Amino acid sequence: MPLTPAEPAIFRGVIALELRDGAPPQHAALVAGAAGDLVAMLGRDLAALVPGVRDCDLALLTAHFDPAEALRPGWPLHRRASELLQRAPGQAQSARMIGFGADAAGTVPMPLQCDPDLHGGGLRILPFVLHGDAARQTGDALEDVLLDRGMAAADTALALQDGLGAQVEHARYLSLHDLAAMIALQYRNSGLDALWPLLETALLQPDAEAWLDASPEPLARYGDGEVRIAMLDPAAWRSRNAAGESDCARLERGFEYFQARQRQFAAVLAAHGVPVQFVHCADGIEDCLR
- Ordered by start, the domain boundaries in the chain are 10-188, 192-289
Sheet holding 226-231, edge to edge: 210-212, 220-223, 226-231, 276-280
pLDDT given for residue 228 in this prediction: 96
CA 247 distance to own-chain centroid? 42
CA distances from 216 to 68, 201, 231 (A): 26, 21, 14
Q: Which one, of 145, 146, 72, 155, lies nearest residue 114 by Cα?
A: 72
pLDDT given for residue 25 in this prediction: 95
- Phi, psi of 126, rounded to the nearest 5 degrees: -120, 115
pLDDT given for residue 8 in this prediction: 64
pLDDT given for residue 286 in this prediction: 76
Q: Which one, of 73, 71, 68, lies nearest residue 115 by Cα?
A: 68
- The partner residues of 174 in beta bridges, in order of sequence, read 14
How many of the other CB atoms lie within 10 Å of CB of 191? Answer: 10
User: Residue 279 and residue 287: Cα distance in Å, rounded?
Assistant: 11
For the chain, list residues with pLDDT below 70: 1-8, 92, 284
pLDDT given for residue 188 in this prediction: 96
Sign for the pseudo-dihedral over CA of 161, 162, 166, 167: positive
Instruction: Say which residues have a Cβ less than 8 Å from residue 266's Cβ, sequence separation at least 6.
Output: 229, 276, 278
> pLDDT tens digits for 130-166?
999 999 999 999 999 999 999 999 999 999 999 999 9
User: Residue 170 and residue 151: Cα distance in Å, rounded?
Assistant: 8
